[in-house]
Amino acid sequence: MAPTTTTTSSSSSPHLPLIGPWRSPPNDLHDQKINNKSAIHSGDASASLFGPTLGGPPIHGTTHHTQFAPLLFRHFTLEAFMSTGCLSTVFHIPVTHKQPVRCALCEPASRDHNNNNNDAVTLYMENLKGDKVLTGTATVGRLDPIQRDASAVRQLLAKSMRKNSARSPSSIIKVNVGDTSPRETVALPFTKKLGNLFPYTYEEKLSRLTEPHEFYKREEGKASPFKRPIIPLEAYNILMTMTLDKAKWSSTQNANLADERAIAWFGACEVRAINGPIHPEENYTLSREIVHIGSTKKAESVWLETKLMQHAVVVADMLLQIHFLKPPQSSSSKL
pLDDT confidence of residue 258: 85
- The pLDDT profile of the chain, 335 residues, written as one tens digit per residue, is 333 444 433 334 568 899 999 999 988 876 655 655 556 656 655 445 555 555 677 888 899 999 999 999 999 999 999 999 999 999 999 898 899 999 999 987 655 544 444 578 999 999 999 999 999 999 999 878 778 889 999 999 999 999 876 555 567 899 999 999 999 999 999 999 998 888 899 999 999 999 999 999 999 999 999 999 999 999 999 999 999 988 999 999 988 898 887 788 899 999 999 999 999 999 999 999 999 999 877 789 999 999 999 999 999 999 999 998 754 544 444 44
Q: DSSP secondary-structure letter at 58?
A: B
Q: Is 184 exposed, middle or buried (0-12, 13-18, 19+ CB in 10 A)?
A: middle
Q: How far is CA 230 from CA 11, 39, 96, 215, 217, in A?
A: 20, 29, 28, 6, 8
Measure the CA–CA gap between 87 and 152, rounded to whole angstroms.
9
The answer to whether residues 157 and 137 touch, using CB atoms and an 8 Å cutoff, is no
pLDDT confidence of residue 109: 60
pLDDT confidence of residue 327: 46
- Name the strand (E) or helix (H) holding 324: strand 313-325
* Cis status of the peptide bond prior to 57, with omega within 30 of 0: no
Alpha-carbon torsion (186, 316, 65, 211), positive or negative: negative
Task: Show Cβ contacts of residue 21 under 8 Å, excluding neighbours closer than 6 positions.
Answer: 5, 7, 102
pLDDT confidence of residue 111: 54
